[in-house]
């Protein structure tokens, strides 16, 4: 079960399982009656997320200034219209700060989004606009923090790299599981959350400035996120499966 709030099928099948592997601690309560072992082994991620470059080197590899604080904004490889639009509204104010922004806008959204931006923003070297990135491990390594959805695999990758996020959960996910994921991390001091119904350029900029203006808070949240990472999840899960009787 990858999410903090287990789905109905997994809760039902859990009654018959010898082993239940959880991606997040919050899901444990959904398997209170399980007869088998319930372990938080984490969600397996690619080895690329475990062995990343230092931030300055990662930024150089992406053609960015190695010395500037860096934010990645992503709605996943397909993009997220609500996140994109809010960032578009916030960009003039954000780029007034001495930061750089990596923006994964989504392949189908690239041209229309580019057309909505002013020439001054498009020509600003501190704004890196791409449809998607093949190597998100490199992007996270380059970033001080993220703005993202709250899917289980995104969270697993962010946690392993120690990258906190301002989560904007997808509101139409089954059983609102992304909101459950995000709130679980917020409760651990590892993330901030904006409900999509409250999202606009002003609220997004305010959340970002809070991280930028309080470096001690940002460092603590990155550490909290890192503490939740499970870099050996694939190995641990495989080992448990091999030893099942």
For 47-227, CATH gives 3.40.50.2000
Question: Tokens 């301002």, residue?
Answer: 166
What is the spatial distance between Cα 15 and Cα 22, in angstroms, rounded to a whole number? Answer: 15
pTM (2 d.p.)? 0.95
pLDDT in tens, 14-57: 999 999 999 999 999 999 989 999 999 999 999 999 988 999 99
Characterize 150-164 residue by residue with b for buried, 16 or more Cβ atoms within 10 angstroms of its Cβ, and e for exposed.
Answer: bbbebbbbbbbbbbb
Of the listed ranges 53-57, 73-77, 129-133, 169-173, the least confidently predicted one is 73-77
pLDDT tens readout for residues 192-201: 999 999 999 9
Domain parsing of the chain, residue ranges:
8-43+231-242, 47-227
């Amino acid at each position: 079960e990858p999410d903090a709030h287990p789905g109905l099928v997994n809760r039902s099948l859990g009654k018959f399982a010898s082993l239940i592997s959880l991606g997040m601690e919050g899901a444990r309560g959904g398997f209170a009656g399980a007869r088998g072992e319930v372990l938080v082994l984490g969600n397996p991620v690619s080895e690329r997320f475990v062995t990343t470059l230092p931030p300055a080197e990662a930024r150089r590899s992406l053609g960015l200034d190695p010395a500037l604080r860096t934010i990645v904004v992503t709605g996943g490889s397909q993009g997220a219209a609500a996140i994109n639009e809010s960032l578009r509204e916030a960009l003039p104010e954000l780029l007034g700060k001495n930061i750089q922004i990596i923006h994964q806008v989504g392949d189908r959204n690239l041209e229309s989004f580019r057309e909505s931006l002013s020439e001054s923003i498009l020509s600003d070297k501190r704004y890196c606009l791409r449809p998607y990135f093949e190597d998100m491990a490199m992007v996270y390594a380059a970033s001080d923090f993220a703005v993202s959805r709250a899917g289980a695999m995104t969270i697993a990758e962010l946690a392993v790299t120690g990258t906190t996020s301002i989560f904007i959960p997808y509101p139409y996910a089954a059983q609102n599981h992304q909101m459950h994921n995000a709130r679980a991390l917020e409760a651990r001091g590892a993330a901030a959350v904006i409900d999509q119904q409250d999202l606009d350029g002003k609220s997004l900029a305010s959340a970002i400035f809070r991280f930028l203006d309080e470096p001690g808070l940002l460092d603590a949240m990155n550490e909290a996120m890192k503490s939740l990472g499970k870099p050996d999840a694939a190995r641990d899960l495989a080992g448990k499966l091999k030893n099942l009787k």
